[in-house]
Structure 1
Amino acid sequence: MKYWQSFVAAGLVSLLAFGNPSRAQSSPAELYGDLFRRVQLEKLFPDGKTFVDAVPRLAPGAVMTAYRQQQPRDKDALRAFVLRHFRVPGINDHDASNLRDHVRALWPVLVRQPVERQAGSSELPLPAPFIVPGGRFREIYYWDSYFTMLGLAVDGQQPLIESMLVDFTATVETYGHIPNGMRTYYLSRSQPPFYALMLDLSKDDTPAIAARRLAALRQEHAYWMKGARCAVASGACERVVRMPDGTLLNRYWDDKDAPRDESYAEDVATAAEAGSDKATTYRHLRAGAESGWDFSSRWFGDGRSIATIHTTDIVPVDLNSLMLAMEQRIEVRCRKVGDTACATEFAGLARKRKAAMDRYLWVGREGRYADWDSKTRRPTPVLSAATLYPLFVGAASPAQVSAVAATVHAKLLGRGGLRTTPNQTGQQWDQPNGWAPLQWVAIDGLARNGQAALARDIAGRWIGTVAAAYAETGKMLEKYDVEERKPGGGGEYPLQDGFGWTNGVTSAILERYPDIATDLDQAETRAAAQ
């Protein structure tokens, strides 16, 4: 067959497959009439080309029937209608049920290679590859990394877990602790101590590695307890607080009392507003940053204003739960290598800490674990998601578990997941925001203590929120509004995407509850039919 005959034959196939191209095709303006005019004239999308490239979820006639029936009255209602009935490019054209695939594709994007020391740079050297959270957080962070590792563990990325543990172990050996993040300006503080729990995720149990990690773990414990030697006279020193019965518990602290380098202007403004000793305010702000909850009503004297921050006066339930977990794991590791003296010492420390937590941090009449104020010598009134940490580390009795579960269900369960606190202050670690690490602490803590239904409920609500935001933005975000099931807000900087711990917790939840992905599929189908 000659070339032109082949071309004609191919054209005939095209006509049979796609219809007669000479027959006019209706444009979006012709298909959607009044709906089209409203979308364009009300500038529902900044670019007029956005809507005309959208794909309807139903037949155009069915969309218009629904539009005439519902008659969305204002711009918000119109937008909701359009997003429900169309896949709009760059807006909601992401398949929420494919969250797991999206997270798996993100891991390579967030990997960074070993860091060498560079003169004048604030970045600290690291010997092995690692994962960053994303966005403005372009270095490795301490407590973020544990929740990131949860996802790496179930997404076939075990070598990255081992690699990050190489980094953290070397960091303790170099600096005596793991800083907030791997920058020079973070060296004066740490973050919630998850290194012991990170080690639970390792599959490398070679004796040399285990010995090195145990030494690092004991060194980290010594860092947190260093203030014990001077807490006798003052009642509190560095990160240690001597309780009324003489027991030692921990608090958040920072070795410096100047404005934070990374939030200098904000800290100067807060200290001016506080009107008290500026160095003391700076220390409280820095301690709040060490807590990871920067900032929250947990640390405010009046429960509302950052100007009343007094973080170092507070004995936090989350920190002491993690210290208990650290002491228990040191005991186990010491016993495994035959160091009886070490095992006995840390078993005793763990028993004393557990008893002190029950005595000072448990508020039975309110069904919650609380932070303790060393100035008022009583629990603080702020209910927060930190109440679930003792369940997470296995430190709660069945009665305490039941009471906390009831409190969480009644006061912290939002439409889109677990609330951080019930308090609206404008700070990012308060209502309406929810955070991936706190969801996991709650889910895992409740599930391992016989509260399977509530754990699954929180997981489903949270993944629904993450999926809704992903469907609209195509991004995994640092935090979410669990009241409105949308991207979160507040804080000292714009909302970040990436995002390490959200990715990790999402994968961990979907691995534990694969039926949630089915629920997402069904929800999309229902939305398309409305």
Structure 2
Amino acid sequence: MQASLFFLILSFLTYIILSIQGATDVNQDHVGGCQHPVYCTGSLLKTIQLNQVFNDSKTFVDMPMRYPVDYINQQFEVLMFNTSKTGGPNKAELLEFLNNNFYPAGYEVEPVTPVDWFPNPAFLDKIQDPELKRFATSVHGKWLDLTRVFNVSGLCDDCYSSIPVTHPFVIAGSRFREFYYWDTYWIIQGLLVSNMTATAKGMLTNFRDIITEYGFIPNGGRIYYLNRSQPPLYTLMVKSYVEATSDYQFLQETLPILDAEYQWFMKYRTTQINTCDGGSYTLNLYNVSTNTPRPESFYEDFTGASVFSSDDEQKFYYSSITSGAESGWDFCSRWFSQSDNTNLTTIQTIEVVPVDLNSILYYNEKTLSMFHNYFGNTTMSTFYQKAASERATAIQSVFWDENNLQWFDLNLETQTLNENFYISNLLPLFVDIEEEINMNDEEIDSIFKELSDVLLNFPGGIPSSLIDTNQQWDLPSAFPNLQYFVIELLMDTNTTVSTAIGRSLINRWVTTNYCGWNSTLETEGGMMFEKYNVYDVGTPGGGGEYVVQNGFGWTNGVVLHLLNKYSDIITLNSC
């Protein structure tokens, strides 16, 4: 009883403080992001990246330093002086400098065997198809390949770009040597299927510690990500973990931290929308303010910005590029000018109010209301329930298009909706907004019927968009996390139409994952791609800033979720 009373008082005080301040004090300078003189700013970074010493710009900023910052910069100044007569160091001289002064990329990130991994988790027993069971067993085994710890012992202070955390974590794979925020949601789904609850809890505890320190969860586990977050799925990760484990003590300890993250988004990522019918709504958007390239994509951003002549235009470009990375959809025609939506240089993410971000925050508000109600905190529960109700009204008023039967992103510059198809247009159904706005099954089915071509006609899943821009979040790529959203909203709707489409998509998605794995089993140990091609079953997607990656954290998590939840209705199609 005393513990409950203490928590009630603590939560209420947290609410009052955060409502006044908008976020914890430690986060007040968050807009500055990373100011590290090697990994985030300075001539050394610019020189290395613009000379393209490595094919991947991320490689350099993931290399720990052998010596303190001051010594490294002194050595760099010597190099620049010695090569000044020849116009500066060439690529070979820069590479020699790096080899002498830096460790290899990812040196401080070490593999570790998770303590809760066992070869035959219970979910395998209910998979009857022997080929699906063989596939599931292999994917379950990939947690052994992807689990890591940060080990900065032996490294000097401030000599690495990692944000160290206490507990082991699962990486995405390949070039992604650290944890990533929204990837972790689907990784958690897979870990829970594999009964790896200790690993899942450790990752959630890492995030709790990060919010305590920074006020938010950055894009990923590197200091160069400290000026941006990602879609706020932490509350929903905790929900999944608690539902699987009934660990309400963890929830009680974490709930004030969930409040803090929510307030961060409500302070730093909002805009006011006034509608023609007199409505006025507070909604959220991705909105990083920066006048520099992303360190991990310095060359790409710097080159892209070179087409602009003014500082203001370059800042708008850098801010929109970085905000596009914050969205997770980096990059996609969603963020481009609607008058030129195939050209990355027209990116204007900070002018777009996204349907999916606001849908996720609506789900967070409902979930936080439920959490606070469980612990008897009616003040906070009512606060979040009111916020959710107001947001549902806003989503319907601002984003819904009756003629196209979809929810569309709003462009602030033009005050128009982006009437192109994106999977994000359906996210309100994933968060069950129909319950708040009293949309019946017939109305929901009309949405699916209107979109039946895109939902059913691609053998390799549903494309993120129907526009081919050579960006990875556009046609022809299909991403596991977005298939998860659509499958769950279809199956949860549970009408004749939605279930038929949902079953088709489950079979197509599991098939394309299986075919990619099986075709590479002998040569590569069975590859799980970051994304897949909707036209060609089993082949990876493409486009974007880097080659397709193998691993892959969220791909594994989604397919394990599907094999666990729907194994009795899955039938593999032909490869």
Give the TM-score, by structure 2 length: 0.70
Partner of 1:30: none
Match of 1:384 among 418, 422, 433: 422
Residue in 1 that maps onto 2:517:
470
The offset of 1:412, in angstroms, is 4.5
Asked whether the equivalents of residues 295 and 428 of structure 1 are also in contact (C-alpha less than 8 Å), the reply is: yes
Q: Contact 2:507 / 2:571 at 8 angstroms: preserved in 1? A: no
Cα separation, 2, equivalents of 1:400 and 1:179: 38
Is the CA contact (8 Å cut-off) linking 1:115 and 1:127 kept in structure 2?
no
Where does residue 49 of structure 2 map in the other structure? Answer: none
Shift, 1:463, TM fit: 1.4
Q: CA–CA distance in 1 between the matches of 2:336 and 2:443?
A: 26
Q: Which residue of 1 aligns with 2:171?
A: 132
- List per-residue Cα deviations over 1:131-153 (Å, max 9, x = no partner): 11110011000100111111111
Alignment partner of 1:512 is 2:565: yes
1:56-455 equivalences under 5 Å are 98-113=134-149, 115-116=151-152, 119=157, 120-203=159-242, 205=246, 208-227=249-268, 239-244=269-274, 245-273=279-307, 277-301=313-337, 302-396=340-434, 397-398=439-440, 399-413=442-456, 414-450=458-494, 451-455=498-502
SS at 1:417's partner residue?
coil
CA contact (8 A) 1:330 1:343 kept: yes
Q: Which is worse superposed, 128-137 or 403-412?
A: 403-412
**1:497 alignment partner AA:** N
Check 1:115–1:190 CA distance in 2 against 1; reply closer, same or farther (3 A cut): farther
The amino acid across from 1:342 in the alignment is: M
Are the structure 2 counterparts of residues 498 and 509 from structure 1 closer, same or farther at C-alpha, using a change threshold of 3 Å? same
Closer, same or farther: CA 408–154 of 1 in aligned 2, 3 Å? farther
Specify the code of the residue in structure 2 equivalent to 1:496.
Q
Is contact 2:507–2:570 with CA below 8 Å preserved after alignment?
no
Alpha-carbon offset, residue 257 of structure 1: 3.0
Gaps of 5+ in 2: 1-130, 521-525
CA contact under 8 A between 1:196 and 1:325: conserved in structure 2? Answer: no
Secondary structure in structure 2 of the residue aligned to 1:243: strand
Residues 399-457 of structure 1: CA deviation (Å, up to 9, x unaligned): 55223312332234422111110101110000000000000000001111122111111
> SS at the partner of 2:544?
coil
Partner-residue secondary structure (3-state), 1:247:
strand
Query: How many Å separate the matches in 2 of 1:518 and 1:185?
Result: 44
Q: Deviations over 1:226-282 (max 9, x none)?
A: 14xxxxxxxxxxx11101032100001224331000001101111123556101100
CA offset at residue 517 of structure 1?
A: 5.6
Kindly state the Cα deviation for residue 221 of structure 1 after the two structures are TM-superposed: 0.6
Render the CA deviation track for 1:197-231: whole Å, top value 9, x for unaligned. Answer: 1012214555542232111111001110114xxxx
2:446, 2:467 → 1: CA distance?
A: 21
Q: Do the aligned partners of residues 274 and 483 (structure 1) sit closer, same or farther apart at CA in structure 2, a change above 3 Å counting?
A: farther
Q: Is the CA contact (8 Å cut-off) linking 1:412 and 1:421 kept in structure 2?
A: no
The alpha-carbon deviation at position 116 of structure 1 amounts to 5.0
4+ residue segments displaced more than 6 Å: none
Q: Which amino acid aligns with 1:164?
A: M
Q: What is the rounded CA distance, in whole Å, between the counterparts of 1:174 and 1:400 in structure 2?
A: 45
Instruction: Judge conservation of contact 1:368–1:403 (CA < 8 Å) in 2.
Output: no
For the residue of structure 2 that corresponds to 1:258, the secondary structure is: coil
1:502 aligned onto 2:552: no
Deviations 1:486-524 (A, max 9, x none): 21111101110000000010111111221466536xx47
Shift of 1:188: 0.7
5+ residue gaps, structure 1, are 1-94, 228-238, 525-530
Asked whether the 8 Å contact 1:96–1:468 carries over to 2, the reply is no
- Cα distance change on mapping 1:207 and 1:475 into 2, 3 Å: closer
CA–CA distance in 1 between the matches of 2:266 and 2:181?
Answer: 18
How far apart are the structure 1 equivalents of 2:487 and 2:451?
11
| 1:314-366: CA deviation from partner (whole Å, max 9, x where unpaired) | 11011001100111111111112222211111111111100000011111210
Q: Kindly indicate whether the alpha-carbon contact (under 8 Å) linking 1:96 and 1:471 is maintained by their aligned counterparts in 2.
A: no
Count of matched residue pairs: 417
Give the structure-1-normalised TM-score: 0.76
Distance in 2, Cα, partners of 1:316 & 1:453: 28
CA distance in 2, matches of 1:269, 1:497: 27
1:481 pairs, out of 533, 541, 545, with 533
In 2, Cα distance between the equivalents of 1:257 and 1:350? 34
With over 3 angstroms needed to count, the CA separation of the structure-2 counterparts of 1:411 and 1:174, relative to structure 1, is: same
Structure 2: which amino acid aligns with 1:410? D
Q: Percent identity?
A: 35
Letter in 1 for 2:535: E
| Cα pair 2:510 2:572 within 8 Å, conserved | no
* Residues 1:423 and 1:350: Cα distance change in structure 2 (over 3 Å): same
Counterpart-to-counterpart distance in 1, 2:507 and 2:309: 45
SS at match of 2:487: helix
What is the distance in 2 between the residues matched to 1:519 and 1:365? Answer: 37
